[in-house]
Amino acid sequence: GQQLNQSPQSMFIQEGEDVSMNCTSSSIFNTWLWYKQDPGEGPVLLIALYKAGELTSNGRLTAQFGITRKDSFLNISASIPSDVGIYFCAGQQISNFGNEKLTFGTGTRLTIIP
């Protein structure tokens, strides 16, 4: 199946620092999504990107849909303790059955050092 390479796998940063993570693939995607998962909870949608080159912000979060449609990045500015969690990228594409299929990255675990 399709794979998304998400990096870094983990990050240890100090409060107030900016964070950057990305996802790359050898396949083209129609949509890129970024989710955050807190411990013991399901993923929560942060940002959805629908057009190549699109740059979208949600508060301190900014994400971009790569121009080649094969990558996306997520930036978090001025990190705060509640940013701790696992961040997942997900790409959506047409499957062999003509349906939209969502493929998830392996996640980036963000830890903030006080």
Nearest approach, Cβ of residue 6 and another protein (Å): 9
Provide the phi-psi class of 107: left if phi over 0, else alpha when psi is between -120 and 50, else beta: left
Paired with 23 in beta bridges are 6, 72
Give the type of residue at 49. L
The only residue of 14, 26, 41, 81 in contact with another protein, by rule CB under 8 A: 41
Any contact of residue 26 with another protein (CB under 8 A)? no
- In angstroms and rounded to an integer, the radius of gyration of the C-alpha atoms of the chain is 14
Any contact of residue 31 with another protein (CB under 8 A)? yes
Region binding another protein by CB under 8 A among candidate stretches 11-19, 27-35, 60-68, 70-78:
27-35
Give the type of residue at 15. E
Any contact of residue 88 with another protein (CB under 8 A)? yes
Which segments of 8-107 are extended strands (E)? Answer: 10-14, 19-24, 31-37, 44-49, 55-58, 61-65, 71-76, 85-94, 100-104
The only residue of 28, 45, 55, 80 in contact with another protein, by rule CB under 8 A: 45
The only residue of 55, 67, 80, 102 in contact with another protein, by rule CB under 8 A: 102
Under the rule (CB under 8 A), what is the footprint of another protein? 3-4, 30-31, 33, 35, 40-45, 48, 88, 90, 92, 95, 97, 99-107
